Amino acid sequence: MPFPDDESDTKNLQIVFATAKGKVRKNSLEDFSSINSAGKIAIKLDPNDKIVGVEICKDDQDVMLSTKNGKCIRFESKKLRIFKGRSSKGIKGIELSPNDEIVSLSITNKEKIKKDTKSDGRFVLSITENGYGKKTLNNEYRVTNRGGKGIIGIVNSPRNGSICSSFPVIEGDDVMISTNKGRVIRVAVKEIRTAGRNTQGVRIIKLSGDEKVVSAIKIDDNLE
C-alpha cells in the first residue's frame, strides 16, 4: 500500500483495517506516519482472526467488504468513527453467517452518473476459486449501514466455489490472477462479462485437476 509522498497529506487521510472475522477499524493515517524497524501494533486480533485488508481512504469515499460466501456490504467511510488508539479490536463491519469470512476490503468513490446513463463506468470485479467471475456496475452495490448482513455480490455455487477476491475496476484496467499451482494470467477487464449481482459469472481462467485461484489483483502499470 503506497504511503503519500507528502507527509502533510496524512492529516486529511484515514487508514482502514478489516479482519477475516468481520471487524473493521479506522485510524488517522498520522498514527502510522512514523514506524521504526521493530514495527508498531496496528490492531488487536481475536484468536483465530487475521487482517485481510488495509486501505487508505477519505471521508467522502465508501468502504466495501466482500466475503468468501459471496456477500458484500458497502457503507460510508465518514460513518466509521476514527479510533484514537492502535491496540483496540475494532467494531463489526458485517454480520457474518456461520463458516463465512471476509476476503476483501475495498475503498470506492461515490457514483457521479450523468443524465441518460446507467453508470459512471466503474465496476466491482468478483473472482472465485474455481476460475469464474464477472464485473457488476458499481451502483448496484447500494450504500447501507455498517454491521448489516450485506447483499449478494456473486452467487456462491458448487461450480464457482468460494470467492477469493472482489475489488473496484474500470474498463481500461487489467487484472492478474494467480493459482495455487504457481500459474499466473493477465486479463483485460473489458474482456470480462458484465452481469448483475445475483449471478454466477463466466469462466475467466481454465483450471486443471485440483488447481484453485488464490488471488486476483488489479495491475497498476503506472507504478515504477
- Contacts of 80 by beta carbon, 8 Å cutoff, 6+ apart: 16, 24, 26, 63, 91, 146
Place of cell 507527509: 7
Q: What is the reported pLDDT for 187?
A: 96
Partners of 79 in the β-ladder: none
pLDDT above 50 for 129: yes
Q: What is the reported pLDDT for 97?
A: 94
- Within 13 Å and on the Cβ side, how many CA atoms surround 63? 33
Q: What is the 3-state secondary structure (H, E, C) of 141-184?
A: CCCCCCCCCCEECCCCCCCCCCEEEEEEEECCCEEEEEECCCCE
Q: What is the reported pLDDT for 190?
A: 94
**Separation of CA 154 from chain center:** 14
Q: Among 82-91, 125-134, 136-145, 209-218, whose mean pLDDT is lowest?
A: 82-91
- Contacts of 190 by beta carbon, 8 Å cutoff, 6+ apart: 171, 172
192, exposed or middle or buried, with CB in 10 Å at 0-12, 13-18, 19+?
Answer: buried
53-93 tens-digit pLDDT: 999 999 999 999 999 999 999 999 999 988 887 778 889 99
Instruction: Name the nearest CA neighbour of 207 among 170, 164, 154, 167.
Output: 164
- The predicted model gives 106-121 an average pLDDT of 72
Between vectors from CA 102 to CA 162 and to CA 131, what angle results, nearest 5°?
A: 25
Domain spanning 7-219: CATH superfamily: DNA gyrase/topoisomerase IV, subunit A, C-terminal (2.120.10.90)
**In the chain, what are the domain boundaries?**
7-219
Q: What is the reported pLDDT for 14?
A: 92
Q: Could you give the percent of the chain with pLDDT greater than 70?
A: 91
Backbone angles phi, psi at 169, to 5 degrees: -145, 170
149-183 tens-digit pLDDT: 999 999 999 999 999 999 999 999 999 999 999 99
Q: What is the reported pLDDT for 224?
A: 45
- Contacts of 194 by beta carbon, 8 Å cutoff, 6+ apart: 123, 134, 135, 136, 137
- The predicted model gives 23-46 an average pLDDT of 84
Instruction: Name the nearest CA neighbour of 161 among 197, 192, 207, 193.
Output: 207
Taking the C-alpha atoms of residue 183 and residue 172, their distance in angstroms, rounded to an integer, is 23
Question: Between 121 and 181, whose confidence is greater?
Answer: 181
Q: Give the global pTM.
A: 0.89
- Written as one string, the DSSP assignment of 86-110 is SSS--EESS-PPTT--EEEEEEEEP
